[in-house]
């Protein structure tokens, strides 16, 4: 009986150790997927940025506008970059006839550097978005977002980040609570992406 009890205890300990090893890996998969093409150095950094309106593949202009405003708000709150005012960016787009819902063409990067005086721009694309209904009829927004940081002087993409989240992710893995609105989801996703960039050395100007 004692041997059986000991084997049972060892079995429980083994399960616990396997779970402890698995859970960090599972959580790590949920982090933003970021590719750093050019690493920041003491001699090279970008400080003055312009955030351009995000676009959506399904032409959902309302979601794109919401994503742009929330990401800009979170950047301002973090204060790690000097940001060009939104009105100046809109004026630049009008002057250069960039249509709403279109990502700025790389041929305009040099003009952007001259007219706005920025080091880099942030462009974003929403590849998937919507609202599902989870257990107990809880609203469960979901969104896939790709954000790029581009040096307008060299035309090089410095950082590309992809993140897909749904509202339930924050409850299941991050124990944040229920996120039932698209604005709430976008705010938390923006914070994650900005924190990931800061961790990789971008920002802090």
Give the model's pLDDT for residue 4. 47
For residue 162, report the phi and psi dihedrals to the nearest 5 degrees. Answer: -120, 135
In a domain, 12, yes or no: no
Report the percentage of the chain scoring pLDDT > 90: 63
Compute the distance between CA of residue 91 and CA of residue 188 in angstroms, rounded to an integer. 29
**Which residues, other chains included, contact 165 with Cβ-Cβ below 8 Å and sequence gap of 6+?**
142, 143, 185, 188, 189, 192
DSSP string of 63-117, one letter each residue: HHHHHHHHHHHHHHHHT-SEE--HHHHHHHHHHTTPPTT-PPPGGGHHHHHHHH-
**Per-residue pLDDT, 54:** 96
pLDDT at residue 173 in the model: 65
What integer pLDDT is reported at residue 176 of this predicted model?
66
The helix/strand/coil state of 142 is strand
For residue 74, give the CATH number of its domain. 3.40.50.10610
| pLDDT bucket at 42, cuts 50 / 70 / 90 | confident
DSSP state of 25: H
| Domain assignment present for 37 | yes
pLDDT, residue 28, reads: 40
Give the Cα separation of 135 and 131 in Å (integer): 13
Distance CA 181, CA 178 (A): 9
Instruction: Check pLDDT > 80 for residue 24.
Output: no
Residues 57, 48: Cα–Cα separation, whole Å: 28
Counting the structural domains of the chain, the total is: 1
Give residue 63's domain range: 32-199
Q: Is residue 72 part of a domain?
A: yes
In a domain, 98, yes or no: yes
* First-residue to last-residue Cα distance in the chain: 66
**pLDDT tens string 60-118:** 889 999 999 999 999 999 999 999 999 999 999 999 999 888 889 999 999 999 999 99
The answer as to whether 6 is a domain residue is no
Note whether residue 21 is domain-resident: no
Which residues, in sequence order, are CB contacts of 162 under 8 Å at separation 6+?
Answer: 32, 33, 34, 144, 145, 146
Quote the pLDDT of residue 175.
Answer: 59
Nearest to 109, CA basis, from 160, 158, 41: 158
pLDDT at 172: 72
Lowest mean pLDDT segment, chosen from 13-22, 74-83, 116-125, 180-189: 13-22
The answer on pLDDT for 11 being more than 60 is: no
Average pLDDT score over residue span 146-166:
95
Neighbouring C-beta atoms of residue 2, cutoff 10 Å:
6
What pLDDT is recorded for position 184?
95
* 20: in domain: no
Cα distance between residue 91 and residue 97, in whole Å: 10
Query: Is 19 a member of any domain?
Result: no
């Amino acid at each position: 009986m004692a041997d059986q009890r000991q084997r049972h205890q060892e079995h429980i300990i083994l399960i616990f150790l396997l779970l402890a090893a698995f859970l960090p890996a599972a959580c790590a998969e949920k982090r933003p997927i970021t590719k750093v093409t050019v690493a920041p150095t003491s001699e090279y950094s970008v400080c003055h940025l312009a955030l351009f309106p995000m676009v959506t593949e399904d032409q959902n202009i309302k979601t794109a506008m919401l994503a742009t405003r929330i990401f800009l708000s979170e950047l301002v709150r973090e204060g790690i970059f000097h940001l060009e005012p939104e009105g100046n960016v809109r004026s630049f787009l009008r002057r250069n006839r960039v249509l709403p819902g279109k990502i700025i063409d790389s041929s305009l990067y040099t003009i952007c550097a001259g007219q706005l005086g920025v080091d880099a721009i942030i462009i974003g694309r929403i590849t998937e978005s919507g609202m599902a209904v989870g257990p107990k009829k809880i609203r469960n927004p979901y969104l896939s977002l790709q954000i790029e940081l581009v040096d307008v002087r060299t035309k090089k993409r410095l950082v590309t980040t992809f993140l897909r989240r749904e509202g339930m992710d924050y409850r299941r893995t991050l124990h944040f609570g229920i996120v039932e609105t698209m604005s709430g989801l976008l705010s938390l996703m923006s914070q994650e992406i900005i924190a990931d960039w800061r961790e990789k050395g971008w920002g802090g100007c």
